[in-house]
Amino acid sequence: MCGRYGLSLPSRVRELPLDSALLAEFEDVAPRWNITPSQSVLAVVSDRDGIRTARLRWGLIPSWAKDASIGQRMANARSETVRSKPSFRKPFASRRALVFADLYYEWQVLESQQGKQPWCIRLADNAPFAFAALWDVYSPPAPDDAIATFTLLTTAANPLVSAIHDRMPVLLAPAQYHSWLNLDTPLDDVETIVHTPPALDMHAYRVSTYVNSPAHDDAQCAEPIDPSEAVLPE
């Protein structure tokens, strides 16, 4: 699963292989170290109107929902069932998105201590990456405005993350961005993308419980408890 993430250097998103004009807005995005569900972020979205940037709130509210509170339970969606679940089936086919980050957090259950141990997970060189996301637009009763929301897809953890948690978000390889955003990509191929995440060069290190509070959103959230754990793998 993924319940917190950060984008500490938004300007580096422009290093990713997408149209430079599309990513220009990320130059003005403020650094974030502890993004939580219910907060809004800038993302790259696709639908039948094309590919563009949009601000989305984390926690998907299906377009047909009777109550917006359902979004509180929709921060993540299991990639194995998104093609069949009513909440995700239509967005999977027609509203896909890239949500950018350069770190995310996971909490490990340890028998030797009370509470959970938070870990920060990053790519080599702390490079930016893109989560696979679905989005939708909910129109509440007037006079409220429509709300664009998203959910992050999750999959079985890779060998690195599995020591911490059995699930992880789907991180897309740059070569997969176009196929993920292109709504003409056959859905069988899209399923293959999210069921077999790429082998990315990742590292993880323990951080303090400072990150547990949604009120904390600064570099201290991602500081290692033991600096030697944050050394990039050779």
Which backbone phi and psi does 95 adopt, to 5 degrees?
-145, 90
Catalytic residue at 15?
no
As beta bridge partners, residue 185 has none
**Which residues contact residue 48 at a Cβ distance below 8 angstroms, ignoring those fewer than 6 apart?**
94, 183
From CA 55, how far away is CA 43, in angstroms rounded? 6
Structure tokens that stand for 174 in this block: 């740059």
From CA 149, how far away is CA 57, in angstroms rounded? 4
From CA 208, how far away is CA 192, in angstroms rounded? 36
Which backbone phi and psi does 197 adopt, to 5 degrees?
-60, 150
Catalytic residue at 111?
no
Q: Report the side by side order of strands in the sheet with 116-123.
A: 32-35, 5-7, 103-109, 116-123, 202-206
Q: Which of 106, 120, 221, 234 is catalytic?
A: 106
Structure tokens that stand for 158 in this block: 């890779």
From CA 111, how far away is CA 172, in angstroms rounded? 33
Q: Which residues are catalytic?
A: 2, 106
